Amino acid sequence: MAATKNSTLGVIIGNRDFFPDKLVAEARTEILDLFKQLNITPVMLSDADSKLGGVETFAEAQKCAALFKKHADDIDGILVVLPNFGDEKGVAETIKLSGLTVPVLIQGYPDDLAKMDVVNRRDAWCGKISVCNNLYQYGIKYSLTTKHVVSPRDESFIMDLKNFTAVCRVVNGLRKVRIGAVGARPTAFNTVRYSEKLLQRNGISVTTVDLSEILGNANKLTKDDASVKAKLEKIHAYTNTGLTPPDKLVQIAKLDVVLADFMVENSLDATAIQCWTSIQKNYGCNVCTSMSMMSENMLPSACEVDVTGTLTMYAMQLASGSPSALVDWNNNYADDDSKCVLFHCGNWAKSFLPDITISTAPILGTSVGTENTYGALDGRTPAMPLTYGRISTDDCKGVIKAYIGEGELTDDALKTFGNRAVAQINNLQGLMNYVCRNGFEHHVVMNASKTAGVLKEAFENYLGWETYTHA
């Protein structure tokens, strides 16, 4: 995973008084050391606030909950640590009283067969089951470690904790994401219809703007404006401009200035843009370069006003810490049933395109004039890891649903234009059957990571979305 913002976790160390207290003190030191190693900020009781900094009694639960409330704006998730059996009610009541609805991870320490005497025995194997039972009764969602009990020093727990912080980013990010819908959906693309109401019920806000406002504001700018000159410098620094005429680069820069202003004015995290055909006919260029630059800068932008497409891009970005790209499930790859061609004309982030160049869109150019499609990008994606998936609003069922999976992007030969990649996916034919049977869009999102497990946990467990994981 790429570098991401440091996480802050609330920590509850469970305790039960007829088990050895020293285990609580040891666990506290061990967790603090691990957090320092992983750059995670802890919010937890000190050993002066409660017995060894643990939580057992209702009074201690109240104290820990008050601490969590004080830091509610910072806490991304909660880690429950069970060095011994722990007090199940103390854990559940702390979370309930805190009012936090963030993800929760439950860890229990393993016993040592050589230390099963009264002064060393933990019984966290059993205690973890009791804690989970109480959280289930309270209606509190929680995540589990790969091993039922595990030492914080174990590599599997370290990976569990890293994945958990990614789950926290996805859940918390999607609950408050703001998306800009720029222009109307192209009339030929019923496939990207979506329900604003279903999204809003899940905390996802959509801000709309008419494309004429964006183009009108862009036309008011000139090549001599400081903001336009600054954008031109960024474009030249970002990519090879190829054979793109200087006046077309100015048009692209002016459009980029206005889109950036729109995002700032509305505090947007992502956009979905009416990228054809009005913009070519009425303005004279493609918006792909601007969309690519936004996506590379972690402000994902999707084609054809595909709002749930850019929502998926944002979710995968949160999971991995790296840019996402919206692609078409586009072509078979010869006679290989496990491979297909991914394509767009194209606006993929530079991370996917080491040979990126500003070009034209030949297919679109057949109807709007190739000279009006400068700004499209040309480039081939090399071999890299692949997580793919799609979030969709199913108005017929009144739900948000998703599918996710993992595969590989390959270096197989592919002679064509635009943004392109070859994907290899296990049981690809079965996946395409699922996509078609369940009414998903022809757009899918790719990310250079292996984060399907993180996305499944976030979507299904915490957000309550129907999620199919392809294997």
pLDDT digits (tens, 9 = 90+) for 152-194: 999 999 999 999 999 999 999 999 999 999 999 988 889 999 9
C-alpha 439/C-alpha 394 separation (Å) is 9
Asked if residue 137 lies in contact with residue 93, where contact means CB atoms within 8 angstroms, the answer is no
Q: H or E segment at 314?
A: helix 307-320
C-alpha 52/C-alpha 45 separation (Å) is 9
Q: Which residues contact 398 (CB under 8 A, 6 or more apart)?
A: 198
Both tokens assigned to 219:
């036309």
Both tokens assigned to 408:
């590989």
pTM: 0.96
Q: How far is CA 134 from CA 59, 220, 308, 442, in A?
A: 18, 61, 35, 43
Both tokens assigned to 416:
């064509």
Asked if residue 467 lies in contact with residue 405, where contact means CB atoms within 8 angstroms, the answer is no
- Alpha carbon 406 to its chain centroid, in Å, reads 15
Asked if residue 268 lies in contact with residue 160, where contact means CB atoms within 8 angstroms, the answer is no
Q: pLDDT per residue over 270-322, tens digit each?
A: 999 999 999 999 999 999 999 999 999 999 999 999 999 999 999 999 999 99
pLDDT given at position 121: 78
- Alpha carbon 300 to its chain centroid, in Å, reads 10
- As a whole number of Å, the CA-based R_g of the chain is 25
Residue 150, pLDDT > 90, answer yes
